[in-house]
Structure 1
Amino acid sequence: MLTGVARLTVIPRRTAPPAQVDGEAHVLGLVAFDTALLGPTWTVRAIERAARHAGHSLAVARASSLDGGSVTGAIASLRARGVEGILAVTPTDSALAALERVAPDAPLVAVGVGDADGVPMVGVDNIAGAAMVTRHLLDLGHDTVHHISGPVGWPEARERLAGWRAALRQVGAVEGRLLPGDWGVRSGFEAGRRIAADRDVTAIFCANDQMALGALRALHLAGRAVPGEVSVVGFDDIPEAPFLRPPLTTVRQDFAAVGRAGVDLLVRRIVADSAATPPGGAAPRGRVRFVPALVVRDSSAPAM
């Protein structure tokens, strides 16, 4: 039985759409899930805006969870509505495995889910982003960088972990402590409490800004000055990041560009599937990755 679809909504196209990629408007499907996490939420919003701007109708199926059955059910509901192609913001291993099992006659693009191997994808280069922020701390003179990671089973968490390790190995630095998190503020706080008592800790990379916020609070309660004693950096650049105390150094993702690229790639795949590629024409790229940007603020400083 196909289960797990919480609700299905349809976002109509604009009355007077701008020119399309292929001169036509398309009916697209979007698989998402209910969450307060910034990354998936902003990715979904970016896709919705990009589809509207391009004049495409968008049917949204919200899965109740990110298990394979829920994602499969959401896809089935969209296909029953006759969508021409599907965008999926389903950023866990089990959900991506479900996408890989979708019949090849259904054009599909995964968006903001990490470097998915089995399906066409659009997203940010998490490895590069994590490496650049880790190198930033090493360049400030910190002997090593400790890491509060995202949850197991999330490709983006795994990629940020890999980028952190790669940057440390590149300069021969001893690997700092790895503390597990779950993307939430509380997990960052608990990890921060565990590491705050270690006076050798001078730099912490948190896999997202919410966990960095929790770590900042834990360090403050432990009497550790940021950035005087400990530098803290995050990933995402949430709207509150410039207003934290201290303002947070982080990695900025261009969610709008990711959303536009996801819609564009899906439309190109729909067109390619509906007609033979013209002589000399290029097939649509199956992987689009954006390099994020380092945003340096006051939470990182030279090692004392």
Structure 2
Amino acid sequence: MPSRATIREVAQLAGVSPSTVSRVLNGTDANHMRPETKARVLQAIRELDYTPVKAARSLRKQRTQVIAVLLPDISNPFFSLLARGVESVAFTEGYSTLICDSNHSVEKESRYLDILLAEGVEGIVFTPVGKPDMERIERLLRRGARIVVADRRVEGLPTVEADNLGGSRKLTEYVIGLGYRRIAYIAGPKEVSTAQDRLLGFQEAMDEAGLAPVLVRHGDFTYESGYEHAQEILQNYHVDAIMCANDLMAVGALNIAFEKGRSVPAEVGVTGFDCAWYTEVVRPTLTTVEVPAYEIGKEATKVLFNVQICNKQLPVRVIPGGTCMPRR
């Protein structure tokens, strides 16, 4: 492998000192250098195909120009889209983005926080699995890292999230308005604020309509948990609708309904939440709530770079689909 050109070699070819080359690279040459000198340095850089070593520049500046996005499940299209929103803003700011997947594991999440501390990232867009390790969070903050929570809430940290409670209320009101009455609900993890808000919105709308849920089960936002809980519901309870706290669980519920020969939506309605891309691919199309995952990622990163201590809530909207229909 050919050796990488050094800043000293660039300086020698241009007939200047290494510090002069450094000023050109860092953009600090204005009013301190003759145009012909800068031109010689730029020509030498092109001839030698010189690329600065970012790690060395980071050591000098005490800045890495790297942020991280720490997510619970990168295979979930919602979080993939959120990560793209983060990367789009970071890239325009001249930053690299590390993507870390905790895979719904609090232990793995804590380990990643240690790794990001060691890597010296300047900021983290963070979607915690549940209640995060605040000691590790405080350690990162003391080192100067900025942390913004996306899609969920952590007390004391700035947050960008969707109107999960309001969206869940509207979706439940829509389902009730179609004539569904015997409704089961598959919620998300108890310790996750997003799941708490969506469950509360469902309960408030049911109470207002004078209805009680057939039952509530807590999943973990995965396809498997939706499939397993819906299987129990369909085997043991008489329901005319299963509402799920996210789309992955809803697709799990939809598939077990088909396997058991239950017609959707004629016999049982199914709803999700998030409006991931595949909700228009499944048949029937999924009734859900559109959550702006990409915008959440973008807004969280803007807060990160602007060092704003604020909380933002983005609007959502109900997306009618083929998995629910008016009841006679």
Query: TM (normalized to structure 2)?
Result: 0.71
- Corresponding residue for residue 154 of structure 1: 192
C-alpha distance in 2 between matches for 1:259 and 1:196: 36
SS in 2 for 1:294: strand
**Could you say if the C-alpha distance between residues 127 and 28 of structure 1 is closer, same or farther in structure 2, counting changes exceeding 3 Å?**
farther
Q: Does 1:193 align with 2:231?
A: yes
**Could you say if the C-alpha distance between residues 110 and 137 of structure 1 is closer, same or farther in structure 2, counting changes exceeding 3 Å?**
same
The CA deviation string for residues 238-280 of structure 1, in whole angstroms up to 9 with x for no partner, is 22211212111111111221121111111111xxxxxxxxxxx
| Structure 2 residues without counterparts, runs of 5 or longer | 1-62
Q: Does 1:246 align with 2:284?
A: yes
SS in 1 for 2:280: helix
Q: Note the aligned Cα RMSD (angstroms).
A: 2.7
Q: Does 1:292 align with 2:312?
A: no
C-alpha distance in 2 between matches for 1:97 and 1:147: 35
Are 1:150 and 1:158, in contact at CA under 8 Å, matched by a contact in 2?
yes
**Could you say if the C-alpha distance between residues 145 and 264 of structure 1 is closer, same or farther in structure 2, counting changes exceeding 3 Å?**
same
**Could you say if the C-alpha distance between residues 72 and 179 of structure 1 is closer, same or farther in structure 2, counting changes exceeding 3 Å?**
closer
- Corresponding residue for residue 111 of structure 1: 150
Are 1:27 and 1:85, in contact at CA under 8 Å, matched by a contact in 2?
no
- Corresponding residue for residue 280 of structure 1: none
1:232 Cα deviation (Å)? 0.6
Q: Does 1:130 align with 2:168?
A: yes
1:237 Cα deviation (Å)? 1.4
Moved more, 80-89 or 230-239: 80-89
Which one of 87, 94, 103 corresponds to residue 56 of structure 1? 94
SS in 2 for 1:87: strand
Query: TM (normalized to structure 1)?
Result: 0.76
Q: Which amino acid aligns with 2:216?
A: L
Are 1:62 and 1:74, in contact at CA under 8 Å, matched by a contact in 2?
yes
Aligned sequence identity (%): 27
1:60 Cα deviation (Å)? 1.6
1:1-304 → structure 2 map (5 Å cutoff):
27-33=65-71, 35-52=74-91, 54-60=92-98, 62=100, 70-71=108-109, 73-95=111-133, 98-99=136-137, 102-103=140-141, 105-112=144-151, 114-197=152-235, 200-269=238-307, 284-304=308-328
- Corresponding residue for residue 3 of structure 2: none
**Could you say if the C-alpha distance between residues 195 and 72 of structure 1 is closer, same or farther in structure 2, counting changes exceeding 3 Å?**
closer
Moved more, 59-68 or 221-230: 59-68
Higher radius of gyration, 1 or 2? 2
Q: Which amino acid aligns with 1:125?
A: D
Structure having the larger proportion of residues in helix: 2
1:106 Cα deviation (Å)? 3.4
1:64 Cα deviation (Å)? 5.1
C-alpha distance in 1 between matches for 2:121 and 2:130: 24
SS in 1 for 2:96: strand
